[in-house]
Structure 1
Amino acid sequence: MQDLAAYSQTAIRQGSKSFAKAAMLFDPETRDSVTMLYAWCRYCDDVIDGQTLGHGQQELGIEEKRARLRMLQDETDRICDGQPSAIPAFAALAQVVQRHGIERRYLFELLEGFGLDAEEARFRTLDDTLHYCYHVAGVVGVMMARIMGARDREVILRAADLGIAFQLTNIARDVIEDMQVGRCYLPEQWLERSGIRREDMHLPEHHAALHALACELVELAEQYYASARIGMAQLPWRCAWAIASALLIYRDIGLRVRAAQPAAWHGRMQVPGKSKLAHVCRGWFVATAAVARRRRPPTVSRAGLWTKADA
C-alpha cells in the first residue's frame, strides 16, 4: 500500500490549498495525523458528491448516494472494530483512531452530515443550517482538537465553533456555485424574508439580495471565529499557530465575499498567495498572544452560539 502520509499530503494540497498552507506549521507527528484525518474526510465527501478531491461533479441519484453512504458507514465500522482496510483513506483513518482514540461517535456524526447531502436535505431555519455546519465541519474541528491533545469540554466546543465558522464561510462563498447544482444551504426562511422563492434563485434580479444574505452568514461566522480564538489558547503553541493561520486565511475569504460588489460576486473567492503568507505571519502573533493569556478567564462568551444538544 502506498505511503499513507504522502497520500494524505497530496489530498490536502489538492483539496484545500488554504488548510494545506496552515498545516505546514504543525509539528511532524501532528501534521501527519491532521492530514490523514483530512484525507479521510475529503474521500468521504468526494464519494457522496461524485467528485475527485473536491473537483468535478457526477450526476448521482439519491439511491446511488445512499448506497455510497452505506459503504462509507460499513468501512468506518470496520475501522472502529480494529479491522484493516484496503482503501488508503480508511487505512489512514485507522492510524489516527489508534493514535488519538478518536471516538466512533465523531466519525459517524461526520457521516451523518454527508447523509444530509445524500438525501438532498433542505434547510428551513438557521438552526437547520447550523446543524448541517456542525456535522460536516464542526465535528472535524472537534476531531482535530482531539489530535492536538484537547480534552477540556470548553476547548472542544470552541473547536467545533471554528469548524462551523469555516462552513458558514464556505456557504457564503459558494451560494451561486451550489445553486447551479441544485443545492441551497441558506435558510429558506431567509429567502422568504427577502422575497425569493428557492426555484427562482437563479434569476438575475435576485443576485443582489442573495449577496446580502451571504453577507449575513459572513457576519454570523464572525461570532464563531471570535469564540474559536479563545479556544486556541489551550493548544500547544505550534498547533495554536497553525489554527490561527487557518482561521485568518479562511476568515479573509468571508471578508472578500462581503467586500465584493454583487455583480462581481461569482465563482470562488480566493486568497492570493502573498495574503496567505501574511496571514501565516500574523498567525504567529495571534497564537503567541493567545497562549500568553492561557490562564486568564475567557474574554468572549459562547452565549447564543449553536451547540449540539449532547455535546
Structure 2
Amino acid sequence: MTTTDMTTEPGLDEEQQEAIENCVDDWFTQDRARDYVREVVAKSGTSFGPGMAIMSRPQREAMYAIYAFCRDVDDTADDVTIGEDVRLDKLQLWRDEIDALYNDDPNWLTSLALLEPVYAFNLPKEEFLAMIDGMAMDAAETMRAPSREELALYTRRVAGSVGILSMRVFGPNDAIADKFALTLGDAFQLTNILRDVAEDGARGRVYLPREYMEQFGVPVPVTPEDVPATLHHPALGQVCAALADEAAALYRECDELAVQLDSRAIRPARVMWRVYAAYLQEMQARGWANPLATVRFSKFKKLRLAASGLFG
C-alpha cells in the first residue's frame, strides 16, 4: 500500500483519512484518479472550466471529479453504438459503484477521485443517484416533448443534482443556497435545451415542453421519425421564445437569491452563470426565425465572460 502521495484534505478527520488511505494501493492511486478526471475536464472544453479554475485546489479537484462523473453517465446515456438495455445496464453499474463509493470501496478512477470530496464536502449520495436517474430518462429514448411535470423532474435530476453538489463544494449549505443551486440549475438546463435543439433532434430527442407545442400548434413527436416534422414547423420558434422567457426569469430569480449568499463563496457559480446567461441573451437577440441555429462562443469570449463574473 502506498500512502506517501496522499494529502490530508480540509474537512477530513483521522478516521476518514484512514478510510481513504485504505482504498489506495500501489497501482490504483488517488493521484492517478485525480490526473484522470483533470484530463477529462481539459479535453471537454466545458463552459464550466473557467469557474473551476478560480477555486482552491481541494474545491477544484472535487469539481473535476463531479464533472467527470457527470460526463461519464451522460456519454453512456447518449451512446448510440449500444442498445437501450445495455445503456440502462451500464447506468445500473454506476448506481452500484456509488454504493461502493459510500462504503469506502470505489473501483473506478472517477469514483476514486470522488472519495476525498465526498468526505471533505459532505456530498449527498442521493444527488449522484438523481443524476443517474436523469440519464436513465435519456437512455430510455422517450424524451420527446415531455410534459411540464416530466421536464421539471428531468431538470431536477440532471441539473439540480449538479447544482446541489457544486454548492456543497463552494461552501454555502442552507435552504437559500439549495434554492439558488436548483434555480440556477434549471436556468442552465433550459439554456442548454434551447442551444441544442438541432443536436438533440438528430438523436431523436425533443426536450421542448409538450404544452407549448400544443399551444402554438407544433406537432408533438411520438417516435424518432416524427421529430423532423416538429423541428421544421414554422411555429417552433414561438415554442423556443416562450421557453427562453422562462429561462430569463430564472436568471432574474438567481439575482434575487444571490444577494442573500456569501458573494465570495459563490464566485465560481457566478462565473458559470455569466457564460450561460450570455448564451441565452445571444439567442434572444438573434431571434427565433431559425431555432435550429446553434450558438457557440470562442474560448476567448468565454474567458472574457468568466472574468466579468469574477470581477464584475
Please tell me the TM-score bracket, short chain as reference.
Answer: 0.7 to 0.9
Alignment of structure 1 residues 23-102 onto 2, 5 Å: 23-50=52-79, 58-85=80-107, 87-102=108-123
**Cα displacement string for residues 167-218 of structure 1 (whole angstroms, at most 9, x for unaligned residues):** 1100011112111111111112222222222344424983542233222222
Which stretches in structure 2 are left out of the alignment for 5+ residues? 1-27
Deviation at 1:234, TM superposition (A): 5.8
Alignment of structure 1 residues 172-211 onto 2, 5 Å: 172-199=194-221, 200-203=226-229, 206-211=232-237
Output the CA distance in 1 between the equivalents of 2:204 and 2:177.
Answer: 36
1:120 counterpart = 2:149:
no
SS in structure 2 of the partner of residue 18 of structure 1 = coil
SS in structure 1 of the partner of residue 120 of structure 2 = helix
Which residue of 2 is the match for residue 258 of structure 1?
Answer: 284
Output the CA distance in 1 between the equivalents of 2:185 and 2:36.
Answer: 23
Task: Give the counterpart letter for 1:187 in structure 2.
Answer: P
1:226 counterpart = 2:237:
no
1:280 counterpart = 2:306:
yes
Instruction: Tell me: CA distance 1:248–1:205, structure 2 relative to 1, closer, same or farther (3 Å).
Output: closer
Which residue of 2 is the match for residue 150 of structure 1?
Answer: 172
Which residue of 2 is the match for residue 14 of structure 1?
Answer: 43
Q: Quick check: 2:197–2:291 contact (8 Å CA) kept in 1?
A: no
SS in structure 2 of the partner of residue 202 of structure 1 = helix
Q: Quick check: 2:176–2:257 contact (8 Å CA) kept in 1?
A: yes
Output the CA distance in 2 between the equivalents of 1:215 and 1:92.
Answer: 40
Q: Quick check: 1:218–1:255 contact (8 Å CA) kept in 2?
A: no
1:104 counterpart = 2:125:
yes
Instruction: Tell me: CA distance 1:59–1:260, structure 2 relative to 1, closer, same or farther (3 Å).
Output: farther
Q: Quick check: 2:63–2:166 contact (8 Å CA) kept in 1?
A: yes
Deviation at 1:245, TM superposition (A): 1.4
Deviation at 1:93, TM superposition (A): 2.0
Deviation at 1:280, TM superposition (A): 2.2
**Cα displacement string for residues 37-64 of structure 1 (whole angstroms, at most 9, x for unaligned residues):** 11111111112222xxxxxxx2432211
Output the CA distance in 2 between the equivalents of 1:280 and 1:192.
Answer: 38
Output the CA distance in 2 between the equivalents of 1:214 and 1:91.
Answer: 40
Q: How many residues align?
A: 278
Task: Give the counterpart letter for 2:65 in structure 1.
Answer: M
Instruction: Tell me: CA distance 1:232–1:38, structure 2 relative to 1, closer, same or farther (3 Å).
Output: farther
Task: Give the counterpart letter for 2:54 in structure 1.
Answer: L
Instruction: Tell me: CA distance 1:211–1:92, structure 2 relative to 1, closer, same or farther (3 Å).
Output: farther
Identical aligned residues as a percent: 26
Instruction: Tell me: CA distance 1:208–1:31, structure 2 relative to 1, closer, same or farther (3 Å).
Output: farther
Deviation at 1:135, TM superposition (A): 0.5
Deviation at 1:143, TM superposition (A): 0.7
- Compute the RMSD of aligned alpha carbons: 2.3
Which residue of 2 is the match for residue 216 of structure 1?
Answer: 242
Q: Quick check: 2:283–2:295 contact (8 Å CA) kept in 1?
A: yes
Normalising by the residue count of structure 1, what TM-score does the alignment of the two structures yield? Answer: 0.81
Output the CA distance in 2 between the equivalents of 1:11 and 1:177.
Answer: 22
Q: Quick check: 2:159–2:185 contact (8 Å CA) kept in 1?
A: yes
Which residue of 1 is the match for residue 272 of structure 2?
Answer: 246
Q: Quick check: 2:230–2:236 contact (8 Å CA) kept in 1?
A: no
Deviation at 1:130, TM superposition (A): 1.9
**Cα displacement string for residues 250-307 of structure 1 (whole angstroms, at most 9, x for unaligned residues):** 1111222223354654453112333323322321344xxxxxxxxxxxxxxxxxxxxx
Output the CA distance in 1 between the equivalents of 2:77 and 2:263.
Answer: 36
SS in structure 1 of the partner of residue 238 of structure 2 = helix
Give the number of the structure whose alpha-carbon radius of gyration is greater.
Answer: 2
Task: Give the counterpart letter for 1:94 in structure 2.
Answer: L
